[in-house]
Amino acid sequence: MSEEILNKIAQSALLTLDLEDYYPRQETALFDLKPYLFMEQILREKDFRAGLQNTDWTQYQDKIVAVTCTGDAIIPAWAYMLIASYLQPIAVAIVMGDEKNALQQTFMDRIAAIDLSAFTDKRVVVKGCGDLSIGGVAYMEITKRLRPVVKSIMYGEPCSTVPVYKKK
């Protein structure tokens, strides 16, 4: 009486989505405007442009760059545009704010870029356990994106899921 053991999870029509696959792995770097300001407080266009021209931009190569100003200064919008024009060809991503914001925004951008066609009318398990601390915002974002196209959304592992949404 040797019955074959069947892996019902492998045979199920569940699709697993692991958000860790979309988590940014690149190094982050901070670009602070403060050192480019006169007396670290005033943006003088000529000096600012010269400072940017003399910057070694290769230090930001293939990195996620957070652009901020730690000084108490009023920065005109064109200054951020100018910085972006230098960083865009070399950085993986450019985000306003600190390094944590940059990492989170890049992660959200990657989730927003997921092609959902493979998930249409499918039962999806969003993987819950992993090596990285993904954060609730990512789970909320993927749920918002998946809900209009999937049959159901579950959280966890295929062997033990928590139901989140089921199309009626």
Q: Over the stretch 59-115, which tens digit does the pLDDT of each residue have?
A: 999 999 999 999 989 999 999 999 999 999 999 999 999 999 999 999 999 999 999
pTM of the model: 0.81
Q: Is residue 78 part of a domain?
A: yes
> Do residues 64 and 39 both lie within one domain?
yes
- Residue-wise pLDDT tens digits, 131-157: 888 889 999 999 999 999 999 999 998
Report the domain count for the chain.
Answer: 2
**CA pair distance 143, 15, nearest whole angstrom:** 14
Give the range among 25-34, 109-118, 122-131 with minimum mean pLDDT: 122-131
Q: Is residue 125 part of a domain?
A: yes
Contact present, 104 and 134 (Cβ < 8 Å): no
> Do residues 138 and 85 both lie within one domain?
no
Phi, psi of 115 (to 5 degrees): -75, 115
Two structure tokens written together for 37: 């300001």
What per-residue string of b and e applies to 49-71 under the rule 16 or more CB within 10 Å gives b?
eeebeebeeeebeebbbbbbbeb
Q: What is the residue range of 86's domain?
A: 28-91
Residue spans of alpha helices (H) in the chain: 8-11, 45-53, 77-87, 99-112, 136-146
The DSSP bridge partners found for residue 66 are 30, 95
Please check the confidence at residue 5 and state whether its pLDDT lies above 80. no
Beta carbons within 10 angstroms of residue 20's beta carbon: 13
Contact present, 25 and 63 (Cβ < 8 Å): no
Directed axis angle between helix 77-87 and helix 45-53, to 10°?
10
Contact present, 98 and 68 (Cβ < 8 Å): yes
> Do residues 58 and 17 both lie within one domain?
no
SS3 content of the chain, % helix, strand, coil (to 5): 40, 25, 40
> Do residues 83 and 126 both lie within one domain?
no
